[in-house]
Amino acid sequence: FLGISYWYRKPIQNVITKYQENGVMKASTFSKVYYIEFRFKKGSVFCYIGEISYLLRKEKSNKKYYKSLVERILCLERQVYEFYNKKLPDGGIITKWIERKQK
């Protein structure tokens, strides 16, 4: 295990999500896809998370959902680093990434 990193890129194909709002079916597309990369010596595993883009909005940082999402990702980071007997950097990786990328 070499570490965890966070990235975004333009999707190869248009990603369309369909959802229902007040009984009306709607669809939306993504211009950027955010993901977590778990890096290993023999390759990587990518985990796409649609809500990471929510963390990059500064005006949302005081919301309950924002804080719970950061806590879940920090918990995931801790568990992965514990499993591989590695030391997690202070404050976690996600908090530093958010500070760099936040608008």
- List the domain boundaries for the chain: 3-101
Q: What is the spatial distance between Cα 81 and Cα 79, in angstroms, rounded to a whole number?
A: 6
Q: What is the pLDDT of residue 33?
A: 78
Strand order in the sheet with 33-40: 3-9, 33-40, 43-48
Per-residue pLDDT tens digits of the chain, which is 103 residues long? 788 888 777 777 777 778 888 889 988 777 777 888 888 888 888 787 777 877 888 888 888 988 888 898 889 888 888 888 888 888 888 888 888 887 6
pTM of the model: 0.71
Q: What is the pLDDT of residue 103?
A: 61
List, as own/partner pairs, every contact residues 69-75 make where C-beta atoms lie below 8 angstroms and the sequence separation is at least 24, other chains included: 70/94, 70/95, 70/98, 73/36
